[in-house]
Amino acid sequence: MLTTRRVLGASAGVTAAVLVLVTGWQAGAAEEPVPDQGLYQVRGADTAGERADVTRTGVDVLGVRDGAMEVVASPSQASALRAQGLSLSLEGDWAALLDQRGGGVSARAADFPAGDEGYHTYDEMVAALQAAASAHPDITAVSSIGSSYEGRDIPVIKISDNAATDEDEPEVLFTCNMHAREHLTTEMCLHIVDRFTSGYGSDAGVTGSVDAKEIWVVPSQNPDGAEFDIAGGEYAGWRKNRQPNDDGSVGTDQNRNFSYNWGCCDGSSTSPSAEDYRGPSAASAPEVRAVQDFVDSRVVGGAQQIKAHIDFHTFSELVLWPFGFTYDTVTEGMTQEEYDRFRSVGEEMAASNGYTPDQSSGLYITDGDINDWMWGQHKVLSYCFEMYPSGGGIDGFYPPDEDIVPQTTRNDGAVDTLLSNAT
């Protein structure tokens, strides 16, 4: 097996090298043809407003680190950014980088690329939930919040003492893998499931939380996209769901499709092929409807039962809180006291995992994101975590599976802090 992998890996490397020669963008080339999709480092977008201008050109923003943005841009988008006075450096051909990243076709169809099998495919994720449930039947209940566009169940596991009963305990929600390629987040949710099930009865903190709260975990909000991202045997770099659009393109950005202030503020695209396409109407994505319907269903006797929430993304190592649609801290739907609570819990979580805390619009403006909806609609203390790494281009979305354990356990303290603030 190792030999086979090495051979496949080597041939992928050769293919990439050939592409480099053909496209000729390596250092020292007399001419530097610009790739159809180039990975660029963008400098000069130092304020959130300037970064919002960058997102408006329609580029795919991968991450932001120390004011430098990493984006995937077409030649015309790159020119537009330079015309805005920004300095761009080409880091590589996105397609070639994706080719290089895959270790070759895995032995099993639809598994992760060779070497990354520690990540869970959709089927493995479902099996992991079922295994946790059968090993700990008293404190778990697995169900589905709905179906994806392609008809996959979107499973949710509830973890609590007397899990079969809806008890009067503060509820907490963890959601992951809304963006297809952010596979490390699926592992984050599965780690939470593992910690709060296998630690029950032996770890006092875990036991206390499971007894006192009702913990809901949705490991993949975008199963179609996640499966598509690995279906070709090498990573596709896919972000959106897999719902077709009228113009023949595919995918809605679920994190621009939620119903609170949807499309309000130039924080999403109306262009179906854009990576931040907001969809034709609020909650047009079935996966978004499933999440919203589930959270709506937790209003019992007129009171929302879910008190706190983290939606995990990658990458940039950030702890973000609402609102994303406005730079204002205090506005309609957010008092000073409420904002101060967001900031203080956010800073406490960031102190424990070493991420950088900020209001989400401090990164760039978005409208229709999940956290604005969770707070705006339901007054849930709702955070977006951008996990490891802090930067890194293509590898930012595809850290090797050896990183799963250190980077998920890194958030144990932050998760505990969120739980203790769910009151």
Q: In the beta sheet, which residues pair with residue 277?
A: 269
Distance CA 328, CA 323 (A): 8
Q: Which of 332, 337, 386, 402 is catalytic?
A: 386
Q: Is 179 in the site for ligand 0X9 (CB under 6 A)?
A: yes
Map residues 95-124 to x or -, x wherever contact with ligand 0X9 holds by CB under 6 A.
------------------------------
Q: Give pairs for 336-345: CB < 8 Å, separation 24+.
A: 341/381, 342/381, 345/381, 345/383, 345/417, 345/418, 345/421
Segment interacting with Ca ion (CB under 5 A) among 28-36, 76-84, 153-161, 260-268: 153-161
Q: Choosing among Ca ion, Zn ion, ligand 0X9, none, which partner's interface includes residue 161 (Cβ < 5 to 8 Å by kind)?
A: Ca ion
Q: Choosing among Zn ion, Ca ion, ligand 0X9, none, which partner's interface includes residue 240 (Cβ < 5 to 8 Å by kind)?
A: none
Of residues 37, 255, 257, 408, which one binds ligand 0X9 by CB under 6 A? Answer: 255
Q: Is 124 in the site for Ca ion (CB under 5 A)?
A: no
Q: Among positive and negative, which fits the CA dihedral 105, 108, 113, 114?
A: negative
Distances from the Cα of 393 to the Cα of 15, 61, 193, 314, 399, angstroms: 20, 10, 29, 12, 11
Q: Are strands 153-159 and 68-73 parallel, antiparallel or unpaired?
A: unpaired
Of residues 55, 100, 121, 160, which one binds Ca ion by CB under 5 A? Answer: 160
Q: Is 179 in the site for Zn ion (CB under 5 A)?
A: yes
DSSP string, 288-311: HHHHHHHHHHTEETTEE-EEEEEE
Closest CB to Ca ion among residues 100, 252: 100
Instruction: Let me know if 386 is a catalytic residue.
Output: yes
We find the least distance from the C-beta atom of residue 58 to Zn ion, in angstroms, to be 17
Q: Is 256 in the site for Zn ion (CB under 5 A)?
A: no
Token pair recorded at residue 225 = 């996209």
DSSP 8-state assignment for residue 184: H
Closest CB to ligand 0X9 among residues 25, 342: 342
Of residues 50, 161, 194, 347, which one binds Ca ion by CB under 5 A? Answer: 161
Distance CA 221, CA 225 (A): 9
Q: Is 361 in the site for ligand 0X9 (CB under 6 A)?
A: yes
Strand (E) or helix (H) holding 407: helix 404-409
Of residues 76, 143, 162, 409, which one binds Ca ion by CB under 5 A? Answer: 162
CA-closest candidate to residue 241, choices 175, 178, 152: 178
The residues of the shown chain that bind Zn ion, judged by CB under 5 A, are: 179, 182, 313
The footprint of ligand 0X9 (CB under 6 A) covers 179, 182, 255, 313, 320, 324, 360-361, 363-364, 366, 369, 384, 386
Binding site for Ca ion (CB under 5 A): 115, 160-162, 166-167, 214, 305, 400-401
Instruction: Supply the residues annotated as catalytic.
Output: 386
